[in-house]
A and B are shown apart, each in its own frame.
Chain A
Amino acid sequence: MSPVELVAEDGMIAPGAAPGALDIRGLTVSYGERPAVFSVDASFAEGAMTAIVGPNGAGKSTLLKAVLGIVKPLSGAVSVFGKPFAATRSRVAYVPQRASVDWDFPTRVIDVVLMGLYRELGLLSRLRASDKARAEKCLERVGMSDFAGRQIGQLSGGQQQRVFLARALAQGADLYLLDEPFAGVDAATEKAIIDVLKSLKAQGKTVIAVHHDLSTVAEYFDEIFMINVRKMAHGPVREAFTAESLQNTYGGRLAATQIDQLTLSAG
């Protein structure tokens, strides 16, 4: 996709628009007969910190996976920093849902973080002391230095989530895609993770996270992307996080009183 073809929010061609960190056009993904994500257009600006919000089964994780080429979309185009994902892999870090892997796997915390260096290390090059030092630094940033030698199954859920984040940090990426990083974690972990994400933003990195806790959206993120198979709203939290967009996205699943409370906290 050449830059001239880049697309604005409404799906119209916007000639000469500068590419964002992530541009999605006409993305449709289907696992069976029903689409999980339908005709989504979106542009995520560099340096933004965006929450992807929507009810269960709304296609939040699927959207991330399609962007990353883990699931194959039926149609649509994705570009990362103006190029196809395959050409910009090294600039993208992905933090999958914690429950998506088997934590019984025989490996140590530090080894998981070192997996983030795979693209630099390749198949056979030896680990240098500097690689290890870098992995340890990433563990330190998530407050897990003391656990480097532990088997990953011996960690709590929140600690496991932090190890995943450390692996993403080790990649030294510019765009961070996180799938439910706060799901089922303790308060200390939640704080540690949000601190790291905010420091990434301060460094000019782009953060996009699937988020399930509507009450913290306004506190943690500056942009919100609401999805229920189709895109329902996208923009700064103050503008897009409205009673109307919540009603559209969640339908009858949120009570009116809940919506009132949420939009009050956002405003």
Chain B
Amino acid sequence: MSGAEFVPLSLTPLLIGIFAAIACALPGNFLVLRRQALIGDAISHVVLPGIVVAFLTTGVIATAPMMLGAAGAAVVAVILIEAIRRLGRIEPGAAMGVVFTAMFAAGVLLLEQSDTSGVHLDVEHALFGNLESLIWLDATGWSSLFDPAALAGLPPELPRIALALLGVALFIGFFWRPLKISTFDEGFAATQGIATGALGIALVIVSAVAAVAAFDAVGSIIVIAMFICPPAAARMMTNRLERQIGWSIFFATIAAILGYVLAGYGPLWLGFGNSVSAAGMIATVAGLILAVAAVFGPCRARIGAPQGG
């Protein structure tokens, strides 16, 4: 494929897919180790009504109101989960499950009831995103990367997800030690003066930022998959957290590239007429990577794990 064809049509969707996958996989490492993987799932569900409400109030799809709406929805969700857990005396997992599916359903209902025909906001996009349509029409080839006029025409999702990824990476880099210590041993971390509660909330907020930024471009399916699959697969490749992070970035990137290419060309190679959803294929590839790692990963055996205390 020549640059003249690749850059405008495939470069931006690929980059957005890769950035979204890594932005979700990075905090996903800690969520999975904290047995909070479902929080990533919950976030990607509960933000939908927040985003819809933000759109209905402002009438535009822009980063700031979307983030605010999503944050508001997340706060509502946390309060609801706590309320159900305490008042109903239900285990946290079940309370989360109830809240996030209910809020996602509410978001879908809101979407169907409101007129969003003019923008990329409907049930299908909420699930699958619109990765394939995030093309860069102003580009004419690789040289466009250095052409300010062409760069101005970049799809806004690209800088948005790039910024989110940068924020996630900075957060994890800066708080690496406290994150690692409190994920391993929260009690000890507290005695060392680490604000474990605040750090845990910050991790969820950072995950939510990644989820919202990714959600817009690639939909909620990929968000759920990327929070869990690359980190879980990476855990089976190494016994060191530092390397696990590296593996998760690698797996997220591979899933994004392979998924995008397979979605575009796979069906054609197999003799079918149309390409399939890139987001769906990326999530599928991530799942396959996890399956392969689960069977062949060198560190999948849990030798010496505590046998009930």
Cβ of B76 under 8 Å from chain A: no
- Contact assessment for A94 and B191 in the assembled complex, using a CB-CB cutoff below 8 Å: yes
Question: Which chain B residues border A106 with CB–CB below 8 Å?
Answer: 33, 235, 238-241, 243-244, 299
Cβ of A96 under 8 Å from chain B: yes
Per-residue CB contact flags for chain A residues 102-115 toward chain B (1 = under 8 Å, else 0) read: 11111110011001
Closest to A108 in B: B240
Closest to B302 in A: A104
Q: Which of A65, A151, A156 neighbours the largest number of chain B CB atoms within 10 Å of its CB?
A: A151
A151 to B180, CA, bound (A): 15
Comparing B46-54, B171-179, B256-264, the segment that makes contact with chain A is B171-179
Cβ of B309 under 8 Å from chain A: yes
- Contact assessment for A69 and B190 in the assembled complex, using a CB-CB cutoff below 8 Å: yes
- Contact flag A101-B185 (CB < 8 Å), given A68-B191, A106-B239: yes
Question: Which chain B residues border A153 with CB–CB below 8 Å?
Answer: 239, 302-305
- Contact flag A68-B190 (CB < 8 Å), given A101-B185, A115-B184: yes
Question: Which chain B residues border A96 with CB–CB below 8 Å?
Answer: 185, 187-188
Question: Which chain A residues border B133 with CB–CB below 8 Å?
Answer: none
Cβ of B192 under 8 Å from chain A: yes
Chain A contact residue count (CB 8 A cutoff): 37
- Contact assessment for B193 and A155 in the assembled complex, using a CB-CB cutoff below 8 Å: no
Question: Which chain B residues border A75 with CB–CB below 8 Å?
Answer: none
Question: Which chain A residues border B175 with CB–CB below 8 Å?
Answer: 123
Cβ of B181 under 8 Å from chain A: yes
Cβ of A255 under 8 Å from chain B: no
Cβ of A188 under 8 Å from chain B: no
Q: Name the prevailing secondary structure of the A interface residues.
A: mixed
- Contact assessment for A151 and B239 in the assembled complex, using a CB-CB cutoff below 8 Å: yes
B187 to chain A, nearest CB (A): 5
Cβ of A124 under 8 Å from chain B: yes
- Contact assessment for B191 and A89 in the assembled complex, using a CB-CB cutoff below 8 Å: yes
Cβ of A264 under 8 Å from chain B: no
In chain A, residues 62-105, which have Cβ atoms closer than 8 Å to a Cβ of chain B?
65, 68-70, 86, 89, 92, 94, 96, 98-105
In chain B, residues 193-225, which have Cβ atoms closer than 8 Å to a Cβ of chain A?
193-194
Cβ of B116 under 8 Å from chain A: no
Closest to A89 in B: B193
Per-residue CB contact flags for chain B residues 30-41 toward chain A (1 = under 8 Å, else 0) read: 000101000000
- Contact assessment for A70 and B238 in the assembled complex, using a CB-CB cutoff below 8 Å: no
Cβ of A55 under 8 Å from chain B: no
Question: Which chain A residues border B241 with CB–CB below 8 Å?
Answer: 105-107
Q: Which of A68, A94, A107, A123 neighbours the largest number of chain B CB atoms within 10 Å of its CB?
A: A107
B142 to chain A, nearest CB (A): 37
Question: Which chain A residues border B309 with CB–CB below 8 Å?
Answer: 99, 184
- Contact assessment for B185 and A155 in the assembled complex, using a CB-CB cutoff below 8 Å: no
B132 to chain A, nearest CB (A): 36
Question: Which chain A residues border B306 with CB–CB below 8 Å?
Answer: 98-99, 103, 157
A212 to chain B, nearest CB (A): 13
Cβ of A118 under 8 Å from chain B: yes
A69 to B190, CA, bound (A): 7
Question: Which chain A residues border B176 with CB–CB below 8 Å?
Answer: 123
Cβ of B183 under 8 Å from chain A: yes
Q: Which of B190, B194, B304, B305 neighbours the largest number of chain A CB atoms within 10 Å of its CB?
A: B304
- Contact flag A92-B191 (CB < 8 Å), given A103-B306, A106-B238, A153-B305: yes
Q: Can you list 19 A-B pairs, Cβ within 8 angstroms, ordered by A? A: A69-B191, A86-B193, A92-B191, A94-B188, A96-B185, A106-B244, A106-B299, A108-B240, A115-B180, A115-B184, A115-B185, A118-B178, A119-B192, A119-B193, A123-B174, A123-B177, A153-B303, A154-B304, A184-B309
Binding site for B on A (CB under 8 A): 65, 68-70, 86, 89, 92, 94, 96, 98-108, 111-112, 115, 118-119, 121-124, 151, 153-157, 167, 184
Q: A96-B188, A123-B174, A155-B304 are in contact. List 11 more A-B contacts (CB 8 A).
A: A68-B190, A98-B306, A101-B184, A104-B305, A106-B33, A118-B177, A118-B181, A119-B193, A123-B175, A151-B239, A157-B306
